[in-house]
Amino acid sequence: MLPTLIVYCVFIILPIIIAIYYSFTRYSGIGKARFTGLSNYVRLFKDEVFWVSLKNTLIIFILAFVLLLTLSFLIALLLNNKLKGTGLSKALIFSPAIIAPIIVGIIWVYILDPNVGIINNILDALNLDMLKQKWIGGETLSPYSIAVIYFWQQLGYLVTIFVAGLKMIPEEVLEAVKIDGANGWQRIRYVIIPMMKSTISNVAVLIITGVFKIFEIVQQTTGGGPNHLSETLVTYSYSTTFTSGDYGYGMSLATVTFILSLVITGIYSFLTREKEGERK
């Protein structure tokens, strides 16, 4: 385990510690950092763009978490049945997961862009101008569109994990409860879900950590605009650090994002442990 631990500490733990240190400094990335204490965090909580990016991130998180956790599980249940066309369906559902995020952003720009996007052009052709929206680049719908794009990209990957988890459930158990008279919903509620608790928890953690790392999709579709209204915590941290050259403040944004991801993951883990304890 020692070589793995060394690599993990050097490439994961050490950069986190360095980033946290720089969050307490005023640093442009060149020269010597000047320690300023909590000034970056005081500035952060007074920053309107930070609160906008936090709101957008939470909107994306809630929508993507609910859609991905529920629909990926339900689709996995369907694909786990021995029906015609399941092989082709698995390939089609999984295919977006192998596309680079930057390419995903380009694809969806041609779908959602208010001017050249397919959706608005179809609505225009159908004389439904009243339904045309600024799906991306507007003041309100951008985070919702980003959540849908992220859902589309990640669905196949998470479905694959759930299908693998379903394959681990012994057929004898499912046959036994079926013989005992359990209907489809009862088999899912009392047998499949309890036996897949660890898989569901792993998928939930992947969704939580994944949402807080969304970057390429936002950069490609909106670039954080207009006027930072579609920024997420990650994109705002990036633009502050590498565009504005305010490395210290950018690292404070990154640190808050990291802590928020840890807190939400910890809350979810705590709640699921409590539920397991109650069942026992």
Of 84, 85, 276, 82, residue with least CA distance to 163: 82
Distance of alpha carbon 59 from alpha carbon 52, whole angstroms: 11
pLDDT surpasses 80 at 278: no
Of 77, 94, 240, residue with least CA distance to 158: 94
* DSSP SS3 for 133: coil
* Identity of the residue numbered 95: S
> 47: left (phi > 0), else alpha (psi -120 to 50), else beta?
beta
pLDDT surpasses 80 at 123: yes
Distance of alpha carbon 216 from alpha carbon 258, whole angstroms: 18
> Given the structure tokens 């965090």, which residue do they identify?
41
Per-chain mean pLDDT for the chain: 90
Query: Looking at the chain, how many residues does it have?
Result: 280
Phi first, then psi, for residue 133 (nearest 5°) are -135, 165
Q: Look up residue 116 and give its two tokens.
A: 């050249």
pLDDT surpasses 90 at 108: yes
Task: Kindly state the DSSP code that residue 36 receives in the 8-state scheme.
Answer: -
* Residue range 55-104, pLDDT digits in tens: 999 999 999 999 999 999 999 999 888 777 788 888 889 999 999 989 99
* pLDDT class of 274 with cuts at 50, 70, 90: low
Distance of alpha carbon 46 from alpha carbon 255, whole angstroms: 16
Of 100, 81, 96, 79, residue with least CA distance to 148: 96
* Residue range 248-261, pLDDT digits in tens: 999 999 999 999 99
Q: What is the pTM assigned to this prediction?
A: 0.89
